[in-house]
Amino acid sequence: MPESRPPLSERLARAGYGVAGSVIAWLAPALLRRRLARGKELPDRWREKLGQATRPRPAGRLVWLHAVGLGEALALRGLILALSERRPDLRFLVTSSTRTSAQVLAQNLPPQTIHQFLPLDAPRFLRRFLDHWRPDLVIWSEQDIWPGAIFAAAARGVPQALVNARITEASFTRRRRLAPLYRAALRPLALVDAQEDGSAARLAALGAQHVAASGSLKPAGPALNVDADELARLRHALQGRRIWVAGSTHPGDEAAALAAMQALNDPAWLLILAPRDIARAEQIAQTFTAAGMAAARRSLGQIPGPDCRVWLADSYGEMGLWYRLAGVALVGGGFDAIGGHNPWEPARLGAAILHGPDTANFSADYAQLAAAGAARMVRAGDLAGAVADDAANAAMAARAEALVAQAASHVSQLADRLGDLIERPPCA
């Protein structure tokens, strides 16, 4: 059903946002071409951000899901699978905004799912996007909602929901300054499901209706994909090594990992280091070499020999491989002012979870893991001892896997509620 007439303050906020969108539409092509020249856009796909589809729309009912980046988009996979089990007729479109998300998602998309970049939030681009894709349901995720897209979908009578919602107190304070705009954007959402009670209360205060707090989607995400033949080959090649992984790392994480490897003065130990930004690979390799610890490079086809203690995983889309090879995982982002990264990917694959002190972006996830004794916060000087604590790590990994199993019931119930929103006849 079309949305009811909103209050004057919200109509004025919408009008002002529409004017801003028109300015964006005028500037966008030149800005995107500049980003393309700097290698920040994919040459064959940058026009998707102008609403120009690069894939045909599948026939039948289509669910459009959006998440801003890699971790958020990967978290939607469990929900997609749950929806497709209930409604085999559904097809799925996942949009995101970052180049890395597109590259990794290409290897981890569920069946019947297409990825495109989200168009910029301008009326011209959104009209082009919606004319082509004609979604039957729109699902927004976490904090990334775009008012222009919500207004455009609502004007076409498309039901919308916000899932895995998370909003910090600081973000709430910023958004409250634009309260009429956010009330207008949240009003059309027929279902809002938050990760925890605090986010649910803040979203309700901003104007969201039909709000519940059912937990995070991330624990129930399916395991990252892997090439089974490559996994078997590497397990054979690395037989006898004690392997741990530092995943999605930043400079602070890498310094802690280097110190830990120096303390683990045993050639049996092998560190697989997978930086968040593989463009930094050469710099990282030089740092380890300067410390007397030469690193083999995945991008060069190198496999570490018996005397090599560091393998630099400077490749995209292979975290499922690295976590399966390792018994222990240091999840990056905790030793820099980053806020941590997703701990559930290694948990789903049986690796014990270690992390640094800064987990602000995943505070609810790490609190849940800590309460269950399923993860361990370490200081840089304690990392080597934590990596080598086999008994504690085995127990942590088992507890984390139990949490993953419990999360499946939440996703199942949420899929039922979302499926009920699709009432319109299927698109041709």
Residues 121-170 have pLDDT tens digits of 999 999 999 999 999 999 999 988 899 999 999 999 999 999 999 898 98
Residue 408's pLDDT is 81
pLDDT attached to residue 64: 98
Cα separation, 69 vs 101, whole angstroms? 6
B/e letters for 398-411, b = 16+ CB within 10 Å, e = fewer, are ebbeebbeebeebb
pLDDT for 425 beyond 70: no
- List domains and CATH numbers for the chain: 8-215 (3.40.50.11720), 228-406 (3.40.50.2000)
What residues contact 97, with CB distance under 8 A and at least 6 apart? 68, 69, 117, 118, 144
**Tokens (6 digits) for 211:** 């709000």
C-alpha span between 317 and 151 (Å, rounded): 34
Please state, as a whole number, how many other Cβ atoms lie within 10 Å of the Cβ of residue 230. 11
Under a CB-based contact definition with an 8 Å cutoff, are residues 112 and 398 in contact?
A: no
CA distance 22 to 123: 7
At residue 165, the 3 state secondary structure works out as strand
Bridge partner residues of 165 (DSSP): 194
Residues above pLDDT 70, as percent of the chain: 98
- Residue 288 clears pLDDT 90, i.e. is over it: yes
**CB contact set of 119 (below 8 Å; sequence gap of 6+):** 48, 49, 50, 51, 125, 126, 128, 129, 149
Q: Which helix (H) or strand (E) holds 375?
A: none
| Dist. CA 309–CA 291, nearest whole Å | 12
- The pLDDT value recorded for residue 100 is 82
Own/partner long-range contacts of 380-385 (Cβ < 8 Å, ≥24 apart): 380/255, 380/256, 380/259, 380/260, 380/335, 380/356, 381/259, 383/256, 383/257, 383/259, 383/260, 383/263, 383/330, 383/354, 384/259, 384/260, 384/261, 384/263, 384/264, 385/263
Q: What is the spatial distance between Cα 404 and Cα 73, in angstroms, rounded to a whole number?
A: 18
The residue behind tokens 């989607």 is 217
Measured distance between the N- and C-terminal CA atoms of the chain, rounded to whole angstroms: 20
Say how far apart CA 155 and CA 421 lie, in whole Å: 16
pLDDT of residue 428: 39
Q: Look at 76-80, 181-185, 406-410 and tell me which has the smallest mean pLDDT.
A: 406-410
Assess contact for 131 and 66: CB atoms under 8 A: no
Closest CA to 226 of 118, 373, 348: 348
Cβ atoms of residues 414 and 214 within 8 Å = yes
Question: Residues with catalytic annotation?
Answer: 72
Contact (CB, 8 A) for 331 and 247: yes
3-state secondary structure of 65: strand
Q: What is the DSSP string of 15-40?
A: HHHHHHHHHHHHHHHHHHHHHHHTT-
- Cα within 13 Å of Cα(343), Cβ side: 34
The pLDDT tens digits for 345-397 are: 999 899 999 999 999 988 888 999 999 999 999 999 999 999 999 999 999 99
> E strands along 22-103, which residues?
62-66, 91-96
Classify residue 174 by burial, with Cβ atoms within 10 Å: 0-12, 13-18, 19+. Answer: exposed
The H or E element containing residue 4 is: none
Q: What is the mean pLDDT of residues 254-258?
A: 97
Q: Give the separation between CA 386 and CA 67, rounded to whole angstroms.
A: 34
Beta bridge partners of 246: 273, 330
When the pLDDT of each residue in the chain is averaged and rounded to a whole number, the result is: 92
**Res 374: pLDDT:** 96
Q: Which two tokens stand for residue 37?
A: 């020249």
Q: What average pLDDT does this structure show over 234-244?
A: 96
